[in-house]
A and B are shown apart, each in its own frame.
Chain A
Amino acid sequence: AQRVTQPEKLLSVFKGAPVELKCNYSYSGSPELFWYVQYSRQRLQLLLRHISRESIKGFTADLNKGETSFHLKKPFAQEEDSAMYYCALQLSGNTPLVFGKGTRLSVIA
Chain B
Amino acid sequence: GAVVSQHPSWVICKSGTSVKIECRSLDFQATTMFWYRQFPKQSLMLMATSNEGSKATYEQGVEKDKFLINHASLTLSTLTVTSAHPEDSSFYICSARESRLFSYEQYFGPGTRLTVT
Interface string of B73-114 (1 = CB under 8 A from A): 000000000000000000001010100001011101111000
B42 within 8 A of A: yes
Q: Are B44 and A43 in contact (CB under 8 A)?
A: no
- Please report A residues at the B interface, Cβ cutoff 8 Å: 32, 42-46, 86, 90, 93-94, 96-102
Q: Using a Cβ–Cβ cut-off of 8 Å, how many residues does chain B contribute to the interface with A?
A: 18
From B34, B46, B102, B109, give the contact of A43 (CB < 8 A): B109
**With contact pairs A44-B108, A45-B108 given, residues A93 and B102 touching in the complex (Cβ less than 8 Å):** yes
CA distance A107 to B110 in the complex (A): 24
CA distance A102 to B111 in the complex (A): 17
- Please report B residues at the A interface, Cβ cutoff 8 Å: 32, 34, 42-44, 46, 49, 93, 95, 97, 102, 104-106, 108-111
Q: Which 7 interchain pairs have the tightest Cβ spacing?
A: A44-B108, A101-B43, A93-B104, A43-B110, A99-B44, A99-B43, A43-B108
Question: B27 CB to closest chain A CB, in angstroms?
Answer: 15
CA distance A46 to B104 in the complex (A): 12
Q: Is the interface of A mostly helix, strand, loop or mixed?
A: loop
Excluding A44-B108, A96-B46, A98-B46, 6 further A-B contacts by CB distance (< 8 Å) are A43-B93, A45-B108, A94-B32, A96-B34, A97-B34, A101-B43
**With contact pairs A43-B110, A44-B93 given, residues A96 and B49 touching in the complex (Cβ less than 8 Å):** yes
CA distance A93 to B32 in the complex (A): 11
17 pairs from A and B in contact (CB 8 Å cutoff) = A42-B110, A43-B93, A43-B109, A43-B110, A44-B44, A45-B108, A46-B106, A86-B43, A86-B44, A93-B102, A94-B32, A96-B46, A97-B46, A98-B46, A99-B44, A99-B46, A102-B42
Q: Are A97 and B43 in contact (CB under 8 A)?
A: no
Question: B9 CB to closest chain A CB, in angstroms?
Answer: 11
Question: A51 CB to closest chain B CB, in angstroms?
Answer: 10
CA distance A94 to B101 in the complex (A): 11
CA distance A101 to B44 in the complex (A): 8
Q: Are B105 and A43 in contact (CB under 8 A)?
A: no
Question: A47 CB to closest chain B CB, in angstroms?
Answer: 12
